[in-house]
Structure formats: C-alpha cells, structure tokens
Amino acid sequence: MMSIFNFFSNLFSRKNDFQNASDLQTFQPSADYNPDAWEKEQLSRINELELKIKDRFVDLIRSKNNHLKFSWDSGNDEAFLNFEGHENTFDNEEFWELEEYLILKLDIPDAGEFEMHGEGFLTIENHTIVADFWSTLRFMEDYDEEKEEEIWSEAETEKKVEKLFQI
C-alpha cells in the first residue's frame, strides 16, 4: 500500500524538469530522435508494397478498360478502401496490400476525430498509373452534452491528380 501512495505522491508533486532558463537553453533532445525517420519508414513501406502490387494494379485497371473506380471512408482510427466491381475478387492479404499502398501513397489519413470520404479513378496514361480523385473532410469540433451529439466542422473538398508509378 505504501508503494501506491508513493507513486501518486511522486506523480502529483513532480517538479518541472527545467529549473531555470539556462536549463532550457542547454536542453538537447535524445540522440535517437529523428523527425524524418517516420517519413523514411513510410516511403520504404510504399516502395516495398509497390513492388508487390504493381502487376496486380495494372491487370485490374486494364480489366476495367483502363478506368478503375475506387473509393474510401476513413476517420476515427480506421480507413477502408473499395474497388468497384472487385469486392470479392481478392484474397485478404492481397487486398490489404492494395489498400495499404493507396492509403500510404495518397496520404489518406486514418487517425483522429474526423470523417473523410473520397473517390476517384485509377487510370493508365502514357505508361503511368494515375490516381484522379476527390475527397471531403470534416473534423469533430465539439460535443453537445445536452443533445448528446457531436458538432462537426463544415466539409472541405479537395481534388487531386497523382502519379503512382511507371509501367
């Protein structure tokens, strides 16, 4: 029982790590801290997935006369993609790789209190796979406790065209 008391006592009586301005001026972040590490890791994963899915994407797009429709819903720590007309044609691992590739490559957010819907087409143009898409994003701004409902921002719509890879 005494250790629990000590834990809470230390937790709530903890002093500021920086006792004065000179401590703050000499503070150095950990040598292991690298702000670009996450981006490098994401790029590495995109490249790895691209090698795996490249042929499958080309086949899928060609099977739809070079015009494959896709859509997604994301938010609240999830993102789900759909390829129109191919809902049941993938095994789970293959679909997850296609889905993860587009989520990472198109930078579809999947963490936070928001809702995003998007849709577009994957096409082949001049030996390049191109994603032509739009998305609508809304953020949860507040919560009305009396009505017990979320208060959402106005929708923001964005249209993009992005080259994915060469074939």
Pairing of strands 114-125, 67-75: antiparallel
What is the signed CA dihedral for 162, 87, 116, 121, rounded to 10 degrees?
A: 30
What single string gives the DSSP state of each residue in 47-67? HHHHHHHHHHHHHHHHHTTTE
Q: Which pLDDT does position 69 carry in this prediction? A: 92
Quote the tokens at residue 64: 């739809």
- Report mean pLDDT in 10-residue bins for the chain, 167 residues: 51 51 56 72 90 88 88 86 73 81 87 86 93 90 87 88 92
Q: What is the pTM of this model?
A: 0.69
Q: Which pLDDT does position 114 carry in this prediction? A: 82
Q: Which pLDDT does position 125 carry in this prediction? A: 92
